[in-house]
């Protein structure tokens, strides 16, 4: 009998019965979208939970990225990472900006802050780093460099829900930070997103931007789009927020089990957050280095054969998609670390509700592969 498939993530879904009172409330109010009561409550509740008082909710993370870029009035070139979900670069191109790719750190997958400065040209207006896997980018260096060179910084914090650095939210870094609440993320509203703003004025400007530019009942004073989150999404977010701490601690327990089982295996490497980081364990990236008995793709295929749907985040690099491949910064010689990581990374299943037995299946397969090949080599040497 074929094993049930195990996916790399599975959405946090509270019992349906718990959602019914929210639905009844919406039906009673007949207020479906446009800054309704649940929308207002969720902005408040997330602000409190995350430690970011000025949050503007969006229909999805990509619209939030588009509007964050639009709000800062960026021009020309923006320095970013090739090692991300494609929405990061797409949001620049959609705003008529040119992404400039900079190489990454070999363990965190974050943009290499040391290499940003040499990519700055007179056309550069901003830096768009990603907190890859929820692990903070080097915000100290990046913010200082941006200040010195007069650049804006937008953090793509799609993976970084609830992440703290020195006991403060990572989401307050830079000029703006952008969250995604997509179904596959740590906290979801089916689809959804948010911009974390530094103050009331910038939130107000962004609230207008996501609502066609309306500044009053009849006044449209600037360009805008429809980026609004609706009441169903917001209600679901409120419900989910009640269980987020439990979800995060389950993720941590799964991370620790992988670590204990796999950290001594030759040729495998994994990310360890620094002690001053409070991580959300959003992903479990495993790096299959050259001294592991088989390639990342062989491991990936073996897991798939057994119904374990691991994912290669992030492969291919954004800079390898046809839309980007001809950019000067996309050439292979500019991005050696990103290229290597894209060929070595595999993300293992990690989500609240992942059964210990399922995780054990993943671990056993990897250990067997490490062992099979090792004993094969031993036999050959005899
Ligand atoms: C998920 C994701 C996005 C896009 O968010 P959506 O809510 O799916 O539009 C952007 N950047 C990164 C790094 C992501 O992982």
* Cβ-proximal residues to 346 (8 Å cutoff; 6+ apart), any chain: 285, 286, 288, 296, 299, 300, 303, 310, 311, 312
**How many Å lie between the centroid of ligand 1 and the Cα of residue 219?**
32
Q: What does the pLDDT profile of the chain (382 residues) look like in tens digits? A: 456 899 999 998 999 999 999 999 999 999 999 999 999 999 999 999 999 999 999 999 999 999 999 999 999 999 999 999 999 999 999 999 999 999 999 989 999 999 999 999 999 999 999 999 999 999 999 999 999 999 999 999 999 999 999 999 999 999 999 999 999 999 999 999 999 999 999 999 999 999 999 999 999 999 999 999 999 999 999 999 999 999 999 999 999 999 999 999 999 999 999 999 999 999 999 999 999 999 999 999 999 999 999 999 999 999 999 999 999 999 989 999 999 999 999 999 999 999 999 999 999 999 999 987 566 655 555 5
Contact 221, 207 (CB under 8 A): no
d(CA 339, CA 320): 10
**How many Å lie between the centroid of ligand 1 and the Cα of residue 289?**
27
From the CB of residue 79, how many other CB atoms can be counted at a distance below 10 Å? Answer: 27
Query: Is the distance from the beta carbon of residue 177 to the nearest atom of ligand 1 less than 6 Å?
Result: no
Best probe residue, ligand 1, of 65, 84, 87, 178 (max atoms within 8 Å of C-beta): 87
Atom of ligand 1 nearest to the CA of 87: 10
Supply φ then ψ for residue 130, to 5 degrees. -120, 140
Query: Is the distance from the beta carbon of residue 273 to the nearest atom of ligand 1 less than 6 Å?
Result: no
250-270 pLDDT per residue, tens: 999 999 999 999 999 999 999
Among 225, 213, 300, 220, smallest CA distance to 60 is for 225
pLDDT at 1: 44
**How many Å lie between the centroid of ligand 1 and the Cα of residue 62?**
6
Q: How far is CA 151 from the centre of its chain?
A: 23
pLDDT at 372: 78
* Cβ-proximal residues to 328 (8 Å cutoff; 6+ apart), any chain: 334
Second-level CATH architecture of 16-241: 3-Layer(aba) Sandwich (3.40)
**Active-site positions?**
185
18-55 pLDDT per residue, tens: 999 999 999 999 999 999 999 999 999 999 999 999 99
Best probe residue, ligand 1, of 84, 85, 135 (max atoms within 8 Å of C-beta): 85
Query: Is the distance from the beta carbon of residue 87 to the nearest atom of ligand 1 less than 6 Å?
Result: yes
**How many Å lie between the centroid of ligand 1 and the Cα of residue 261?**
30
**How many Å lie between the centroid of ligand 1 and the Cα of residue 85?**
6
- Its pTM stands at 0.96
Q: Which residue has the tokens 């991300």?
A: 84
pLDDT at 332: 87
* Residue-range domain boundaries for the chain: 16-241, 244-381
* Cβ-proximal residues to 53 (8 Å cutoff; 6+ apart), any chain: 47
d(CA 68, CA 195): 7
Identify the CATH assignment for 244-381 out of 3.40.630.10, 3.90.420.10, 3.90.1150.10, 3.30.1340.30.
3.90.1150.10
d(CA 246, CA 238): 15
Best probe residue, ligand 1, of 84, 179, 180 (max atoms within 8 Å of C-beta): 180
pLDDT at 161: 98
* Token pair belonging to 225: 């789009």
Query: Is the distance from the beta carbon of residue 80 to the nearest atom of ligand 1 less than 6 Å?
Result: no
Helical residues (DSSP H) of the chain, grouped into ranges:
16-29, 37-50, 61-71, 87-94, 139-149, 200-209, 231-241, 244-262, 296-305, 336-344, 356-381
Query: Is the distance from the beta carbon of residue 69 to the nearest atom of ligand 1 less than 6 Å?
Result: no
């Amino acid at each position: 009998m074929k094993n049930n498939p195990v996916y790399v993530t599975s959405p946090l879904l509270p019992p349906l019965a718990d959602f019914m009172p929210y639905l009844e409330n919406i039906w009673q109010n007949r207020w479906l979208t446009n800054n309704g009561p649940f929308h207002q409550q969720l902005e408040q509740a997330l602000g409190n939970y995350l430690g970011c008082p000025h949050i503007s909710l969006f229909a999805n993370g990509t619209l939030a990225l588009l509007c964050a870029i639009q709000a800062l009035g960026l021009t020309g070139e923006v320095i970013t990472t090739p090692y991300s979900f494609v929405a990061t670069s797409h949001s620049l191109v959609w705003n008529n900006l040119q992404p400039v790719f900079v190489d990454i750190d070999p363990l965190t997958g974050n943009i290499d802050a040391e290499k940003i400065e040499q990519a700055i040209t007179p056309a550069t207006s901003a830096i768009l780093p990603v907190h890859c896997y929820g692990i903070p980018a080097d915000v100290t260096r990046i913010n200082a460099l941006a200040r010195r060179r007069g650049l804006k910084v937008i953090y793509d914090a799609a993976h970084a829900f609830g992440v703290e650095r020195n006991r403060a939210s990572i989401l307050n870094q830079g000029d703006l930070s952008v969250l995604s609440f997509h179904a596959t993320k740590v906290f979801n509203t089916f689809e959804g997103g948010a911009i974390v703003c530094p103050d009331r004025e910038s939130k107000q400007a962004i609230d207008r931007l996501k609502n066609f530019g309306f500044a009053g009942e009849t006044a449209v004073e600037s360009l805008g789009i429809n980026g609004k989150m609706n009441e169903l999404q917001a209600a679901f977010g409120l419900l989910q927020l009640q269980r987020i701490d439990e979800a995060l601690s389950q993720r941590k327990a799964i991370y620790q089990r992988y670590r204990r089982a796999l950290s001594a295996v030759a040729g495998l490497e994994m990310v360890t957050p620094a002690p001053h980081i409070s991580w959300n364990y959003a992903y479990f990236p495993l790096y299959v280095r050259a001294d592991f008995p088989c390639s990342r793709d062989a491991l990936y295929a073996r897991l798939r054969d057994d119904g374990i749907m691991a994912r290669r985040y992030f492969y291919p690099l954004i800079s390898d998609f046809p839309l980007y491949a001809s950019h000067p910064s996309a050439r292979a010689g500019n991005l050696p670390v990103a290229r290597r990581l894209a060929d070595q990374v595999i993300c293992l299943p990690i989500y609240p509700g992942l059964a210990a037995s399922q995780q054990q299946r993943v671990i056993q397969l990897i250990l067997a592969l490490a062992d099979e090949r090792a004993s094969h080599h031993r036999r050959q040497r005899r």
